[in-house]
Amino acid sequence: MNNNIKLLALYNIRGYAMRKLLLGTTALAAATAMSASALADVSIAGSYEFKYGSRSSQVATTDGTYMAHGDSDMVLTFTNKTDSGLTLAYRYDIGAVAKDGAGLTGDENSLSISGGFGKIVLGMDDDAGDAYNIDEMDLPTEEPTGSSASATIGSSSSITSLDTKKIAYHLPAMGGLTAGFSFADSGYNNGVDKTSYGAKYTMDAAGASVTLGYAANTTEATTTDLDQTNMGLKVVSGDLSMIISQGTHEAADEDRDNQGASISYKMPNGMTLAAYTFKSEDALDAGEEYSRSGVEVAYTIASGLTAVVNVDDYDYKIGTDNDSANTVADNGTITQLTIKASF
């Protein structure tokens, strides 16, 4: 009898232990599944550019040598996919303060929601038109620091893009066609809301890839709105690429016409050669003109490490009706070495 009682008690104890183990295992599996569904894929990418250059200028304050930061960033991206098939991505871009700055600052901070309907971007990110802009500086790897002689004239055929808070929508690709639109609200009673839109179409022609792009910005103003447009043609045939671009800039006392072109060739030894030219004229400031042309050699030293040498000639002429009292004529040459690292 005693033996039967002992066996029964032992059976109950083992059963209780097995139930606890089963419940614990089930709870652990459920917690793991919940954690796996809640966790996002996280990626961290970084880049740094150091520039050293020499500038010969007719203006004493910009004549000599300089050191500067380039596009230096640390980008954190969190990505998750919902049960309904939406892809959510949170992107935080920490950019280095330009040139002589010693600190870091938040550059872009946005959430994107992607699906069969396209992509919606909310927060601080590029204007939509920036994704469809094609200009002559898309082929060269770098741009010499300070090559723009004046803020009252164009320095490239591109439209501007600001990382202000905005709502953007990009259509899903339809064959070779992509397009998008964004709106930035300037806030209470500011009256400088900005809309941006653009489109690209890519097709194959005689073995080459041909891309046509159009982008535009409109920034509201009290008197005359700021309107910018860009049109570009890019042709890629093997290792050879070419771009022809044109842009306009219309605002109060500004009517600029910008034209540019560039070409690049990738060599088998890891070196890329590029050349570009650009010219801007302001019809409302008679005689005001800015032109530049340059060549570039980019060499991949190792994976993630590149050295770039630019030689850039520029010439700025003052117009008879120039609207900047502090602007002076200038011409010169900028020679610059950039060391680029990506991580």
* Digit-coded pLDDT (tens) for 224-256: 999 999 999 999 999 999 999 999 999 988 999
22 and 154 together in one domain: no
The reply to whether 145 and 291 lie within a common domain is yes
54 shares a domain with 3: no
The DSSP element (H or E) to which 77 belongs, if any, is: strand 73-81
Highest mean pLDDT among 100-104, 185-189, 257-261, 281-285: 257-261
Region 288-301: mean pLDDT is 95
28 and 74 co-located in one domain? no
Task: Please report whether residue 120 resides in a domain.
Answer: no
Does residue 89 fall inside a structural domain?
no
pLDDT tens, 124-157? Answer: 999 999 999 999 999 999 988 877 666 678 889 9
Q: Which domain holds residue 24?
A: 1-39
What's the total number of domains in the chain? 2
User: For residues 112 and 167, what is the distance between their CA atoms, to the nearest angstrom?
Assistant: 10
Whether the pLDDT of residue 64 is over 90: the answer is yes
pTM of the model: 0.83
- Tell me the pLDDT of the chain averaged across its residues: 86
**Residues 239, 212 share a domain:** yes
Is 50 found in the same domain as 30?
A: no
What CATH number does the domain containing 49 carry? 2.40.160.10
**Residue 276: which of 297, 290, 260 has the closest Cα?**
260
Report the alpha-carbon distance of residue 141 to residue 41 in Å, rounded.
30
- Identify whether residues 9 and 149 lie together within a single domain: no
**Tokens 């890839």 appear where?**
209
Confidence class for position 73, pLDDT limits 50, 70, 90: confident
Residue 39 has a pLDDT of 67
pLDDT for 217 beyond 50: yes
Q: Which amino acid is at 264?
A: S
Residue with tokens 């200009």: 135
Average pLDDT of the residues in 298-324? 89
Which one has a higher pLDDT value, 182 or 35? 182
Separation between Cα atoms, residue 266 and residue 274, nearest integer Å: 9
